[in-house]
Chain A
Amino acid sequence: MVEWTDFERATIQDIFSKMDYESVGHNALARCLVVYPWTQRYFGNFGNLYNAAAIMGNPKVAAHGAVVLHGLDRAVKNMDNIKATYAELSVLHSEKLHVDPDNFRLLADCLTIVVASRLGTGFTADVQAAFQKFLAVVGAALRKQYH
């Protein structure tokens, strides 16, 4: 069982309650596709991903970024049971989407950077630690059903 301090719980709830899911999701996913271009392998039917501008302007990327962020919401609302909460999604990512779990960390890093730029100096070292721990737990839960 993951142990969360009061600070960590409060920090995660605070970050997500103020977040623009559509914008952050769009930017994080787009950044991931630009910075780690091999991740584009999962989005063959997204159309034009030819360069950074095309990726940023691609409506399918924007839509999917929002889907991913809303998916994170489940963990935000079930912090004491993330593993069980994501069991189905883990099977989906493994059996159907065939996503290399290493990509969860790549997207998490991009998400951290987007949230950091939005929160500015409010994204202190302690807040960063809580946020990265949360994303690491989510990543581990998504990995759980891989075999």
Chain B
Amino acid sequence: MSLSAKDKDAIKAFWAKVAPKAEDIGADAMARMLVVYPQTKTYFSHWQDLSPGSAPVRKHGKTVMSGVAEAVSKIDDLTNGLLTLSELHAFQLRVDPANFKILSHNLLVVLAIQFPSDFTPEVHVAMDKFLSAVALALSEKYR
């Protein structure tokens, strides 16, 4: 299920619209993940406040989205482009890769809310494929 040229064009075009709102989108997606999938809170026991809109949630949403932005810029070779991030997730954060799917789903929900007419089925499938490819690249160094 690799990205076709058409997928990459759709992703880059859509990302141009997403980029200005990236921080808010990241914060919202993080918040939703923590509320809708409470088991994800286990990774953030070191935060004081896990509620939607809290400072650590907002900050982390921003961090995650800049990772996604980096992935867009390296869309032609995600495995190599995201090697450092993969090492981070594999050796330090040790996030169970199942959670990548969960965060991806919440990102898609936020995109659907923020871009009701731009987030067409074609853009949806391209973004879903992209986020799956990013998750795969992030899992590269796990074992």
**Contact at B113–A116, with CB atoms within 8 Å?**
yes
**Contact at B36–A113, with CB atoms within 8 Å?**
no
Known A109-B105, A117-B116, A117-B119; judge A128-B124 contact (CB<8 A): no
Known A129-B35, A129-B36; judge A116-B121 contact (CB<8 A): no
A121 adjacent to chain B (CB < 8 Å): yes
**Contact at B32–A125, with CB atoms within 8 Å?**
yes
A44 adjacent to chain B (CB < 8 Å): no
**Contact at A126–B35, with CB atoms within 8 Å?**
yes
A123 adjacent to chain B (CB < 8 Å): yes
**Contact residues, B97-137 vs A (CB, 8 A):** 105, 108-109, 112-113, 116, 119-122, 124-125, 128
Tally chain A residues at the interface, Cβ within 8 Å: 23
Q: Of A109, A121, A123, A125, which contacts B31 at CB under 8 A?
A: A125
- The digit string for A102-125, where 1 denotes a CB below 8 A from any CB of B, is 000000010011101111110101
Name which residue of chain B comes closest to A128, CB basis: B36
B52 adjacent to chain A (CB < 8 Å): yes
Known A35-B128, A117-B113; judge A132-B36 contact (CB<8 A): yes
Name which residue of chain A comes closest to B35, CB basis: A125
**Contact at A116–B35, with CB atoms within 8 Å?**
no
Give 27 pairs: A residue, B residue, CB < 8 Å, sorted on A: A31-B121, A31-B124, A34-B121, A34-B122, A35-B124, A35-B125, A35-B128, A52-B121, A52-B125, A55-B121, A109-B105, A112-B109, A113-B124, A114-B112, A116-B113, A117-B113, A117-B116, A117-B119, A119-B113, A120-B113, A123-B109, A123-B113, A128-B35, A128-B36, A129-B35, A129-B36, A132-B36
| Majority SS at the chain B contact face | helix
Name which residue of chain B comes closest to A27, CB basis: B121
- Expressed in whole angstroms, the Cα–Cα distance for A70 and B122 within the complex equals 26
Q: Which residues of B contact A112 (CB under 8 A)?
A: 109
Tell me the minimal C-beta distance from A147 to chain B in angstroms.
27
Known A125-B32, A128-B32; judge A113-B108 contact (CB<8 A): yes
Tell me the minimal C-beta distance from B89 to chain A in angstroms.
23
Q: Which residues of B contact A31 (CB under 8 A)?
A: 121, 124
**Contact at B125–A116, with CB atoms within 8 Å?**
no
Q: Which residues of B contact A35 (CB under 8 A)?
A: 121, 124-125, 128
A142 adjacent to chain B (CB < 8 Å): no
Q: Which residues of B contact A56 (CB under 8 A)?
A: 121
Tell me the minimal C-beta distance from B127 to chain A in angstroms.
9
